[in-house]
Amino acid sequence: MQFIDEAVIHVKAGDGGNGSAAFRREDGVPRGGPSGGDGGDGGSVIFVADSQLTSLLDFKYRRHYLGGRGEDGRTKDQYGAAGADLTVRVPVGTVIYDDVTNDVIIDLDTAGTSFVLAKGGTGGRGNIHFATPWNQAPRTAEPGTLGTERTIRLELKLLADVGLLGYPNVGKSTFIAGVSRARPKIADYPFTTLVPNLGVVRLSDERNFVIADIPGLIEGASDGAGLGHQFLRHVERCRVLLHILDATYTTGPDRNPITDFDVINAELKRYAPDLADKPQVVALNKSDAMEPEEIEEHRTAFAARGIELHVISAATSHGLAIVLEKLWSHLATITR
């Protein structure tokens, strides 16, 4: 299924029905008086967070959402029926913005949460409400009010406990495939992963957490380089970050684990300052292709900064269990 995490749509609640200006015409009831009923209220547009949905794909093909119009009032004191509400289901983690002001309207981050985004118009009163001792045959009736209308932007931010960080090709997809049932595309070229991937890590029956592979982080990601600007939003909800580094794959003389670590964290801070303050577990991948002396050099370099460097091989599963336990120890002390 195609992954879509942003969409702009137009919503309009139903208009209220018009009130009726009618008079009773029945045999044996002379001067029956006013009998026009009220118009029905318009239907509202209601957004609901649905845990069964994982993408905003539906909103790519349908951009207009309309609540039902209220029926007009009728004769014989009959009120018009209310318009049907329109329920729109979105994935949990969807943030709704006003597309004009860019203000956040609602963050649907809990399954089952509902929000009336556009309220239906009110039905107009019929002439039965305007009769007085001085005006027993009113010909006045109110029109229904218009339903709320607005253009909104939907933005999906994945709900995951752990977010994977790192340059392209450091082995993030291999890692998530090795610790969960997620099956992302794996290949030996940059930007293999084009969409975020979610996987559930099960340490035991009682201990499990969700991990997300975030693609496209390179230098300049916060300004739109690579795929980072498009997907950095998915890191915001993660409670712990797993930073995967690689000393065997370099694209130039300036690339090394320390430099990569600093560059990615600088991009996180530029995008959202609080992201760089999230707990991080740092892992050096592809240890099966490195010499012990080289590994020890990197350990020493990170230890000088007070950072514990975990050495792993996602391809052979070496060290993965230790990293998962470290992630769990952080998660156990953090509340969402």
Can you give the residue range of the structural domain that contains 142? 1-156
Rounded to whole angstroms, how far apart are CA atoms 25 and 327? Answer: 78
Q: What's the CATH code of the domain at 143?
A: 2.70.210.12
CA distance linking residue 132 with residue 121, whole number of Å: 27
pTM of the model: 0.70
Let me know whether 109 and 175 are in one domain: no
User: Is 336 contained in some domain?
Assistant: no
Question: In total, how many domains does the chain have?
Answer: 2
User: Which pLDDT value is given to residue 158?
Assistant: 73
Is the model's pLDDT at 118 over the cut of 80? yes
Q: Do 94 and 112 fall into the same domain?
A: yes
Determine how many CB atoms are found less than 10 A away from the CB of residue 185. Answer: 11
For 253, list phi and psi in degrees, rounded to 5: -65, -20
Boundary-marking domain end, from 156, 174, 197: 156
Kindly report which listed range (118-122, 131-135, 211-215) carries the lowest average pLDDT score.
211-215
Is 148 in the same domain as 191? no
Q: How confident is the prediction for the chain on average, in pLDDT?
A: 83
Asked whether the beta carbons of 210 and 202 are under 8 A apart, the reply is no
Most confident of 24-38, 76-90, 161-175, 308-322: 76-90
d(CA 89, CA 114): 9
> 17-60: per-residue pLDDT in tens?
999 999 888 777 677 789 899 999 999 999 999 988 877 888 98
